[in-house]
Each structure stands twice: as C-alpha cells, then as structure tokens.
C-alpha cells in the first residue's frame, strides 16, 4: 500500500488598485500546474492527473508592522477550471469542470524602495472536481512593482 503525489511548477500574474495604505483590490490569473496522484493497494491501482487554473478577485487588507514591513490578509472569489483523468485497473474517467468558489490567503511584504516590494504569501483555492471538495494551497514569493 502506498501513495505518491507529484506537482508541477505553477505561476501567477496579478494587478490591483490601492485605495489607501490599508485597503486594495486585486485580480489575478493563477496556473496551479499539473498534479498527479498514484495510489497502490493490493487489489486497487489508481492514477489521478489534473491541471488546475483560476481567475480571482480579492479584497486585501494590510497592517504595517514597521515603516517597511506589512502583513496582509485577503478574501474573495475564484473562477476555477480543472481538466484531467482518473484511471484505475477497471475504469477510465476524463473530466473537464469549472466552478466559482471562495478563496482566501495571507502574506507579508517588505519594501525595497518606493516602487518595489518583496512579497511572500499563501493562498487557498477551494475547487470541487467530480463532486469532491478539494483545497489547493498555493505558496508564492516574488517582487511587486507599483506604478503611480
């Protein structure tokens, strides 16, 4: 008996509007990559593969810890799409599904200068392929550029 889980790389691009130093709105496209799960039991051998991506819109609230470092939390909705297959010794099922669910996350920024920040965050995407509830946790780190 055993299981393995392999995930491909993922990527995202986002843009937003800052209302003030505490509140902003962001929209993003997130490619959560290809995910593969292999499960082997004595009488059951199963392989699941899927690709997941999402568009989201979130409200973001931030709290300054110092004059250069801030924490933030975000919540909104994501329109997700997943495509893949579920294969066992006796069956094959292909699926192509989409839906809209709640998304949320938290992170931290560090200001390098007036227009560039280092940003690290965690986001959770709730998707429902094949009538199952699945939470996809997404961790990112990158540089954010602000335009005035």
CATH number, domain containing residue 119? 2.40.160.20
Nearest partner of 138 among 16, 17, 26, 28, judged by Cα: 28
pLDDT > 80? residue 132:
no
Domain span including residue 137? 2-145
| Residue pLDDT, tens place only, 74-91 | 999 999 888 776 666 566
Instruction: Map residue 129 onto helix, strand or coil.
Output: helix
Residue for token pair 């992170």: 107
How many domains does the chain divide into?
1
Instruction: Map residue 122 onto helix, strand or coil.
Output: strand
Q: Which two tokens stand for residue 20?
A: 């003030």
Residue 2: band (very low, low, confident or very high) from pLDDT cuts 50, 70, 90: very low
pLDDT > 60? residue 47:
no
Residue 48 has a pLDDT of 60
The pTM for the full model equals 0.76
105 or 51: which leads in pLDDT: 105
pLDDT > 90? residue 61:
yes
């Amino acid at each position: 008996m055993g299981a393995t889980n392999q995930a491909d790389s993922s990527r995202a691009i986002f843009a937003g509007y800052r209302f003030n130093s505490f509140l902003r709105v962001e929209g993003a496209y997130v490619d959560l990559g290809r995910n593969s799960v292999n499960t082997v039991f004595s009488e059951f051998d199963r392989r699941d593969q899927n690709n997941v991506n999402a568009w989201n819109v979130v409200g973001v609230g931030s709290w300054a810890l110092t004059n250069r470092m801030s924490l933030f939390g975000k919540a909104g909705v994501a329109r997700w799409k997943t495509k893949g297959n579920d294969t066992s010794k006796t069956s094959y099922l292909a699926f192509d599904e989409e839906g809209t669910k709640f998304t949320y996350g938290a992170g931290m920024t560090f200001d390098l200068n007036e227009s560039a920040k280092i940003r690290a965050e965690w986001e959770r995407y709730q998707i429902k392929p094949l009538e199952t509830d699945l939470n996809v946790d997404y961790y990112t780190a990158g540089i954010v550029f602000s335009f005035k």
